[in-house]
Amino acid sequence: MIRSSRRRGREAALQLLYQTAVSGEPDQDALELFWQSHPVADETGALREFAEELVRAVLQHSSRIDALIDEAAVNWDLDRLSRVDLSLLRLAVGELIAFPETPPPVVINEAVEIARRFSDEKAASFINGVLDRIAREQGSIRGK
């Protein structure tokens, strides 16, 4: 199956966020090291740029993102979520906030498909439910 460059960018952003969760905030050296160890066919640099924009959006809005996830993940403490699943939720909510050109159903679907690849079916269902709840409760969460 051929994944779109946007999907590959989201997957790279997930890996960067996971790395951040394990080792701390990424600096430019950490980003360079990531791209050296995870080469991608990206002749224009658009995939890398998109992935890094997603990561910056998540880091910039981290408090708001975590509050939205915490509120929507009923009966779950963020500390109990796997780092992969939490990173993916943060990535998707960050995209909902910072990329108004991407329709929320696309963001949610992409997150679910990435969860199936990097986590498991239970995680995919959980992520779908949390993101759907956030999208519905916030209406359009952009610009708030």
What is the fold, at CATH topology level, of the domain defined by 5-138?
A: N-utilizing Substance Protein B Homolog; Chain A (1.10.940)
Per-domain boundaries in the chain: 5-138
Local structure of residue 81 (DSSP, 8 states): S
What is the rounded (10 degree) CA torsion for 109, 141, 69, 12? Answer: 50
Q: pTM for this one?
A: 0.87
Q: How do residues 33-78 score in pLDDT, each as one tens digit?
A: 777 777 666 656 788 889 989 999 999 999 999 999 999 998 888 8
Cβ neighbors of 22 (< 8 A, separation 6 or more) are: 83
Cβ neighbors of 46 (< 8 A, separation 6 or more) are: 5, 9
